[in-house]
Chains A and B, each alone.
Chain A
Amino acid sequence: MAGTSAVPDALRALIDALLDGDHAAALAETRRLRQAGLPAETIVTAGLETAMSRLDDKCTVESFNLLEIMLVGRAVSAVVRELYPEGLPRDDRRGTLVVATLEGDVHDLGKNIVKMVLIGKGYRVVDLGRDCPIDTLVAATAREGARGVLISGLISTIVPQVRRVRTALRAHGLDAVWVVAGGAALKQFAAAELDVDYVAENAFDGARYIERRLEGEVP
């Protein structure tokens, strides 16, 4: 976790604006920092990632609401677009993650929240949108060299689709790809019941699982 003492003074105003969900102030502060010569990478690693880490600490299972996450996410997205108009560059240290809502589920709010959290934590995220066929998910995972796929599901009818993901990935030699499920419907199941690696209680919980996998804490 990024501690307060490790944050350069120059970034404090940006971090405060991000945590306040004030996207206009965050954008203005980012432009000021860039004009002062601060590299984009520093703004991401010491600014965005610090803000997301603090939000992560605040958003426990008992205290997590969409509104607060959406406001911070909107501010983070504005800063990322300002710094990288063509999208975040590939980060070989962290790799790429794929997010999707599977075919038959047209709700994408949960998936959008996961995407915002992951981008805020510095991941490159490929968003396959909603109502995504499993074949498309598998093809994108292979094409992007993704290390994990995160599936959000709001409705119960999506459960049979989720149970097919692992098998479909294996059939294309993607055995090592992590599969994480979450969302109002899917979080009512155990991982074994869905044939996934992990069922996340919320977006931060899913991101923490990915971090543990990257750090080798989970075999």
Chain B
Amino acid sequence: MNGYERLLATIRGQAADRTPVAPQLFGHAAHLCNVSLRDYEQSGALMADCQLRMQAHYRSDAVFAFMDFCVESEALGSRVRFYDTQYPEIVDYVLPAQADAGALRLPDPMADGRLPEMLRGIAALRAGLGDRVLLTGCLLGPMTLAAQLYGIENALFLAADMPERYETALDFATACAIRYGQAQLAAGAHLVTVFDPAASPAVVPPAFFRQLLLPRLQRLLAALRRAGALATWLNIAGPTAPILASYPAAGADIATFDYEVSVAEACRLLPDSCLVGNLKALDFLDAHPERITLAARQLVDACRERGRFILSSGCEIPPESAPANIAALLAACDAGG
């Protein structure tokens, strides 16, 4: 089996030759190739080249087409500052506090900001990976994009002070995500992972997920499926135990869970979903590779009988992580899973 076949079989609950590994490696590709994050984030061709070289090095089963969390907001008019060794920040949000997101125009993925660069990068990645390795596009979920339009503090105050206007922002963010996700699939992504860290119970009460996000995720994930996504993938970091059981109702086939949720609890809450997790991302910085191997094998063993498990970290592996630790993660499945 190649990585694509291995992942597809696992997602569908079919037998695979071993547990697939899909480490969340984004900016680490730039680090590995001695490219600054500033350059990596502004060229789809360079992003794709670094990701392809990294995949050839580690031989992971999936590749994430991801630049940074500012891409969508910048395309809508936010001003972004770039750095060489850390991800960019938004220095001027497109929406002032309490402004109406309904006044914004939906972005054109072929023309606005760095969206076209991302699409060029996805096309280059698919050309390089074919159907040997699974290629996933990446989107901000509605709550995180809303936070990136106002700044998270203003977005959260808006949710409390003017809930109807906040819902307008969530609807606009959902429409943006659908359009951009469709474009990523058309450019060659096999599926699209929806990242919504602002929906974590560490940020908002679980009721927010159920009442405000769930109906919008249903629209988003259904639209991605209609646009040809092989499966739907929801990725929310942090202590997500109070919301995991709602993921199937959102339409998510694949669920990432972080180190703050035990594998036993994730299996209990999502008995029929494909799980992805949940190594502690910061361990990849300077823990000993043996620690990574041990933790990875424990996870693989814990999920061996249930199947439908993809080995990964619970959130992004830091760009400056030690390559030996990432190699240990991949080797854990080669040897034991």
Residues of A in contact with B (beta carbons under 8 Å apart): 21, 62, 64-68, 70-71, 74, 104-107, 109, 112, 155-157, 159, 184-185, 188-189
A161 to chain B, nearest CB (A): 12
Closest to A104 in B: B86
Which of B201, B202, B282 is close to A188, meaning CB atoms less than 8 Å apart? Answer: B282
Give the docked Cα–Cα distance between A105 and B86 (Å): 8
Q: Is the CB of B239 within 8 A of A67?
A: no
- As a 0/1 sequence over residues 270 to 308 of chain B, the CB contacts with chain A under 8 angstroms (1 = contact) are 000000000011110100000000000000000000000
Are A106 and B89 CB-contacts (below 8 A) given A62-B239, A188-B281? Answer: yes
Closest to B203 in A: A66
A127 to chain B, nearest CB (A): 15
Counting contact residues on chain B (CB < 8 A from A), the size range is: 20 to 34
Are A64 and B282 CB-contacts (below 8 A) given A70-B153, A70-B157? Answer: no
Are A109 and B152 CB-contacts (below 8 A) given A70-B157, A156-B285, A188-B283? Answer: yes
B281 CB contacts on chain A under 8 angstroms: 156, 188
B97 part of interface (Cβ distance < 8 Å)? no
Give the docked Cα–Cα distance between A188 and B295 (Å): 15
Residues of B in contact with A (beta carbons under 8 Å apart): 85-87, 89, 152-153, 156-157, 159-160, 201-205, 208, 238-239, 259, 280-283, 285, 318-321
Are A188 and B157 CB-contacts (below 8 A) given A66-B203, A156-B285, A157-B320? Answer: no
Q: Is the CB of A109 within 8 A of B89?
A: no
5 CB contacts below 8 A, A to B, read A62-B239, A65-B201, A66-B204, A109-B153, A157-B85
Q: Is the CB of A71 within 8 A of B160?
A: yes
B86 to chain A, nearest CB (A): 5
B89 CB contacts on chain A under 8 angstroms: 106-107
Q: Is the CB of A188 within 8 A of B280?
A: yes
Q: Is the CB of A185 within 8 A of B204?
A: no
Give the docked Cα–Cα distance between A159 and B286 (Å): 11
Q: Is the CB of B282 within 8 A of A68?
A: no
A189 CB contacts on chain B under 8 angstroms: 282
B86 CB contacts on chain A under 8 angstroms: 104-106, 155, 157
Q: Is the CB of A185 within 8 A of B282?
A: yes
